[in-house]
């Protein structure tokens, strides 16, 4: 039998590579809380009036960035018996922070918090790590300047930035030029505290967790489907939101790593429970099924306005496919792990129209291709497309330390390839970036690995 290796990442910096025979992945696990919903649960509870208990909040670096910023803005948040309790001060209740608000690595924190603070009479400085400081912020601040807040950006586009909020922001029509849930959510959060009708038109529907959570909290707004395929939202603020207890479903984007792990590790059979099945988030499951993946999805319950369910996965023979550009808003976080599935598929996979990947935690066109090449997999980028020549049988070997560019999704994808690699996988950040979104990745894999 071929000896297989798994990378065992010690979060205390050092990476230990343990040689183990991995026979298969098997068993049932519950996936940790969804990152997008965890940000929104914290921010919207803080903007509600009264106490909210949040169950199954993701406890990752990105979420702690949002949580600590809300505390800096005067919101009391404590942990009690595994739940996080938020004492909301209303949509206009943020106080002048003493220090700069540190968004760490989290684009969602920076962009959503800009919308949340811009209608309060406070002055905030937002900072972030090296990767976040390179990412574009103007796509959000341009909308917030239009309604009356004042913003000053580094190089006219990046963090560090300062924003001076205004209590008399204008209710306007915002036409969002690129599909982005972060831009849309920032404007919605501002609209909650603006007098009059704020209208938002998005060119294509993007993840709708902000809308669903506000609906669950009985915020009255209009959500119209347009013939062009986009959506129009109309908010008539200001709103007084009454707090409610919230539940955060399992993160489908984190589940994607385990799912691809099971698909490519022979004889595997796994079950994931309480996973979020919001249709704007699980397009990758349809892609994997099209590639031949044996995946079953069963809806189970609705919690805090979101659909949850069980996903069962069997090891499968995969085939390469073309993934068209129009799907990119629905697969945006899953391209790195889809590229791992493509590497083990028969034939070529082409992922088209990935322009937005250039602006994620790393330039994910470059980092995904680089990660695959570290394993000797034939991959190339052609403008903003990625082409991968898959091979289900070729030996997988890590030929050099994988450069992850501090990007959690690249580190997690490389570690999944480690399940079928014939030698140890080395990550240049020793797996540290995984705690951005999936701090329990190693523990979850341990529960499923049969040696």
Known catalytic residue at 333? yes
Choosing from 208, 333, 334, 444, the residue that interacts with ligand S3P (CB under 6 A) is 333
50 membership: H or E segment, kind and range: strand 49-55
Strands (DSSP E) contained in 356-436 are: 378-382, 385-390
Q: How far is the CB of 74 from ligand S3P (least distance, A)?
A: 24
Choosing from 46, 66, 108, 421, the residue that interacts with ligand S3P (CB under 6 A) is 108
Choosing from 120, 180, 254, 440, the residue that interacts with ligand S3P (CB under 6 A) is 180
Q: Which is nearer to ligand S3P, 207 or 432 (CB)?
A: 207
Residue 181 in the binding site for ligand S3P (CB under 6 A): yes
Q: How far is the CB of 5 from ligand S3P (least distance, A)?
A: 30
Residue 105 in the binding site for ligand S3P (CB under 6 A): no
Enumerate residues 149-178 that contact ligand S3P by CB under 6 A: none
Q: How far is the CB of 265 from ligand S3P (least distance, A)?
A: 26
- What track of x and - describes contact with ligand S3P for positions 16 through 45 (by CB under 6 A)? --------------------x---------
Q: Which is nearer to ligand S3P, 34 or 72 (CB)?
A: 34
SS3 content of the chain, % helix, strand, coil (to 5): 30, 30, 40
Q: How far is the CB of 191 from ligand S3P (least distance, A)?
A: 16
Q: Which is nearer to ligand S3P, 36 or 278 (CB)?
A: 36
Residue 332 in the binding site for ligand S3P (CB under 6 A): yes
Q: Which is nearer to ligand S3P, 140 or 449 (CB)?
A: 140
CA distance 235 to 214: 11
Enumerate residues 183-242 that contact ligand S3P by CB under 6 A: 185, 206-207
Contact stretch for ligand S3P (CB under 6 A) within 50-58, 179-187, 265-273, 279-287: 179-187
Q: How far is the CB of 209 from ligand S3P (least distance, A)?
A: 7
Q: Which is nearer to ligand S3P, 36 or 89 (CB)?
A: 36
Q: Which is nearer to ligand S3P, 179 or 309 (CB)?
A: 179
Catalytic residue, chosen from 62, 72, 274, 333, is 333
Q: Which residues contact 179 (CB under 8 A, 6 or more apart)?
A: 202, 203, 204, 205, 206, 329
Choosing from 15, 66, 182, 406, the residue that interacts with ligand S3P (CB under 6 A) is 182
- What track of x and - describes contact with ligand S3P for positions 352 through 371 (by CB under 6 A)? ----x---------------
Q: How far is the CB of 165 from ligand S3P (least distance, A)?
A: 21
Per-residue H/E/C for the chain:
CCCCEEEEECCCCCEEEEECCCCEEEEEEECCECHHHHHHHHHHHHCCEEEEEEECCCCCHHHHHHHHHHHHCCCEEEEECCEEEEEEECCCCCCCCCCCEECCCCHHHHHHHHHHHCCCCCEEEEECCCCHHHCCCHHHHHHHHHHCCEEEEECCCEEEEEEECCCCCCCCEEECCCCCHHHHHHHHHHHCCCCEEEEEEECCCCCCHHHHHHHHCCCCEEEEECCCCCEEEEEEECCCCECCCEECCECHHHHHHHHHHHHHCCCCEEEEEEEECCCCCCHHHHHHHHCCCEEEEEEEEEECCEEEEEEEEECCCCECCEECHHHHHHHCCCHHHHHHHHHCCEEEEEECCCHHHHHCCCCHHHHHHHHHHHCCCEEEEECCEEEEEECCCCCECCCCCECCCCCHHHHHHHHHHHHHECCCCCECCCCHHHHHCCCCHHHHHHHHEEC
Q: Which is nearer to ligand S3P, 199 or 360 (CB)?
A: 360
Q: Which is nearer to ligand S3P, 281 or 344 (CB)?
A: 281
Q: How far is the CB of 213 from ligand S3P (least distance, A)?
A: 12
Contact stretch for ligand S3P (CB under 6 A) within 120-128, 180-188, 196-204, 319-327: 180-188
* Binding footprint of ligand S3P on the chain (CB under 6 A): 36, 108, 180-182, 185, 206-207, 332-333, 356
Active site residues: 333
């Amino acid at each position: 039998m071929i000896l297989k290796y798994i990378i065992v990442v010690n979060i205390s910096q050092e990476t230990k590579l343990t040689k183990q025979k991995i026979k298969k992945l098997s068993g049932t696990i519950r996936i940790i809380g969804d990152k997008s919903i965890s940000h929104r649960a914290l921010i919207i509870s803080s903007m509600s009036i009264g106490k909210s208990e949040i169950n199954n909040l993701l406890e990752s670096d990105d979420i702690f960035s949002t949580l600590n910023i809300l505390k800096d803005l005067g919101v009391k948040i404590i942990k009690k018996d595994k739940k996080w309790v938020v004492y909301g001060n209303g949509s206009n209740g943020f106080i002048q922070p003493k220090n700069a608000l540190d968004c760490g690595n989290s684009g969602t924190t920076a962009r959503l918090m800009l919308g949340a603070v811009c209608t309060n009479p406070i002055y905030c400085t937002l900072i972030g790590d090296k990767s976040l400081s390179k990412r574009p912020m103007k796509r959000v601040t341009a909308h917030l300047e239009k309604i009356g807040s004042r913003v000053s950006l580094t190089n006219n586009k990046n963090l560090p930035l300062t924003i001076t909020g205004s209590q008399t922001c204008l209710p306007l029509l915002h036409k969002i030029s690129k599909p982005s849930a972060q831009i849309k959510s920032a404007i919605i959060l501002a609209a909650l505290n603006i007098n009059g009708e704020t209208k938002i038109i998005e060119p294509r529907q993007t993840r709708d967790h902000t809308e669903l959570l506000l609906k669950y909290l009985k915020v009255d707004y209009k959500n119209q489907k347009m013939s062009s395929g986009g959506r129009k939202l109309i908010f008539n603020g200001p709103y007084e939101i009454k707090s409610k207890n919230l539940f955060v479903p399992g993160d489908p984007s984190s589940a994607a790593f385990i799912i691809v792990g099971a698909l490519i590790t022979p004889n595997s059979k796994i079950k994931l429970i309480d996973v979020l099945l919001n249709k704007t988030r699980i397009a990758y499951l349809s892609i994997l099924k099209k590639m031949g993946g044996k995946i079953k999805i069963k809806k189970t319950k609705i919690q805090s306005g979101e659909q949850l369910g069980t996903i069962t996965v069997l090891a499968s023979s995969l085939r390469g496919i073309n993934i068209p550009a129009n799907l990119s808003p629905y697969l945006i976080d899953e391209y790195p792990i889809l590229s791992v599935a493509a590497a083990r598929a028969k034939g070529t996979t082409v992922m088209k129209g990935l322009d937005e990947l250039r602006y994620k935690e790393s330039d994910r066109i470059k980092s995904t291709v680089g990660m695959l090449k570290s394993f000797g997999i034939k991959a190339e980028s052609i403008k903003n497309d990625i082409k991968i020549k898959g091979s289900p049988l070729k030996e997988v070997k890590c030929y050099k330390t994988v450069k992850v560019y501090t990007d959690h999704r690249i580190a997690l994808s490389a570690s999944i390839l480690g399940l079928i690699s014939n030698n140890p996988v080395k990550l240049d950040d020793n797996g540290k970036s995984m705690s951005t979104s999936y701090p329990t990745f190693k523990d979850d894999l341990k529960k499923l690995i049969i040696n």
